[in-house]
A and B are shown apart, each in its own frame.
Chain A
Amino acid sequence: MASQEPKTASDMVKMRRSRNLLIVGLVFALAGLFYLVTILKMGLAT
């Protein structure tokens, strides 16, 4: 995936917004992963 240079200020804001949304998605995915690990470990312990 090649990086793109924004041509205008609004392009830059759009790019950063989409990247921020990606980061939010990754944070949620990670939270889900930690949750899954906890559930699995609790399940194995009982």
Chain B
Amino acid sequence: MSVSIQNTFLGKPAKIAPADLVSNGSAGDFFALLKPRVMSLVIFTSFAAMYLADGTMHPALFIISLFAIAAGAGASGAINQWYDRDIDAVMRRTKNRPIPSGKIAPAEALALGIVISVLSVLLLSLSANLLAGGLLAFTIFFYAVIYSVWLKRSTPQNIVIGGAAGAFPPMVGWAAMTGTISLDSIVLFALIFFWTPPHFWALALVKNDDYTRASIPMLPVVAGKPETRKQILIYSVILAPLGVVPSLTGLVSPIYGVIAMLMGGVFLYQAVRLYRSGSDVHAMGLFKFSILYLFVLFATMIADRFLAQMIGWVV
């Protein structure tokens, strides 16, 4: 921005901040910086964990805690976009994000991310407990630093290890309700942890050129597409039975187990089909189905508990 103007501060002329420090981004641009789609997934999985956990909380504190977890996720997304602004600019999928498109200045994005991170951790510590606040702080650190700064550009295992960041929110929600980390919350963590690699690698197979252009060592770029399809199949073989586990630990009823088994079967079928064909259409099909898979599993867990509570329906 080359607009040269002056404003006054305490009667003294002062130059307005340059565009690399202050932009003209709208509220919508700032909201986009928080990765709303990721936030919606975090809200959904955290809500499920909070609803399933054996704990009591004032309804207002429940909503505020959920808001704090979502805000923390959004904050880490803003820091991620600040750090990745160079590679976002060269990838078709991300070039229209607020920073590479020039709508928001990098310094503003970083400031927003840090401020919301601190506030979200404080808010959750106050509305729930210190364990939940500490876990949220670790999750933000894991995504913004361990994944974004370290893993993403250095290893093809970036998605595997970095996937933990997306798997933590249900554990944070569980800790918010109970003040503990139980086996059930670890199972929910594992479910998302093992879901993440086949989900992202299916997308990476289709967007391989994009990642190559940005020099990001995604598995298809480094090890090739056949190896990626094999890894997707391996993780799918682990994921399908893992999805059933919440019904085996008694967290939800066997009805959920049957649905999880069916969904896992379809997931596995799609992974085998992709492994054999190597088709981008099948990769995109698996990517889309993986989103549905996670949604159905968590929605079924919520519905299962809701029905059990409402009509005393115990199978």
Q: Please, what's the 1-or-0 string for A16-39, where 1 marks a CB less than 8 Å from any CB in chain B?
A: 100100100000001001101110
How many Å lie between the Cα of A19 and that of B31 in the bound state?
13
Inside 8 A of B87's CB, which chain A residues have their CB? Answer: none
CB<8 Å pairs between A and B, sample of 6: A5-B24, A12-B1, A15-B24, A22-B27, A40-B60, A41-B127
Known: A30-B119, A40-B60. A1 touches B127 (CB 8 A): no
A13, B123: Cβ atoms closer than 8 Å: no
B24, A1: Cβ atoms closer than 8 Å: no
B16, A34: Cβ atoms closer than 8 Å: no
Known: A3-B103, A4-B24, A15-B24. A37 touches B29 (CB 8 A): no
Inside 8 A of B27's CB, which chain A residues have their CB? Answer: 1, 19, 22
Inside 8 A of A44's CB, which chain B residues have their CB? Answer: 58
Known: A3-B26, A6-B24. A13 touches B16 (CB 8 A): yes
Inside 8 A of B24's CB, which chain A residues have their CB? Answer: 3-6, 12, 15-16
7 smallest A-B Cβ distances: which pairs? A1-B28, A9-B5, A3-B103, A3-B26, A37-B127, A1-B26, A3-B29
Q: How many residues of B contact A (CB 8 A)?
A: 24
Interface residues of A (CB under 8 A from B): 1-6, 8-10, 12-13, 15-16, 19, 22, 30, 33-34, 36-38, 40-41, 44
Known: A1-B27, A22-B27. A16 touches B58 (CB 8 A): no
Inside 8 A of A38's CB, which chain B residues have their CB? Answer: 126
Closest to B71 in A: A30
Inside 8 A of A4's CB, which chain B residues have their CB? Answer: 24, 26
Closest to B32 in A: A1
Inside 8 A of B122's CB, which chain A residues have their CB? Answer: 34
Inside 8 A of B58's CB, which chain A residues have their CB? Answer: 40, 44
How many Å lie between the Cα of A4 and that of B29 in the bound state?
10
Closest to B6 in A: A9
How many Å lie between the Cα of A30 and that of B118 in the bound state?
13
Q: Which of A8, A10, A40 is within 8 Å of B61, CB to CB? A: A40
Known: A12-B3, A12-B5. A2 touches B61 (CB 8 A): no
Inside 8 A of B60's CB, which chain A residues have their CB? Answer: 36, 40
B126, A34: Cβ atoms closer than 8 Å: yes
Known: A3-B103, A9-B3, A13-B16. A33 touches B123 (CB 8 A): yes
How many Å lie between the Cα of A1 and that of B104 in the bound state?
14
Q: Which of A3, A13, A36, A41 is within 8 Å of B5, CB to CB? A: A13
A3, B25: Cβ atoms closer than 8 Å: yes
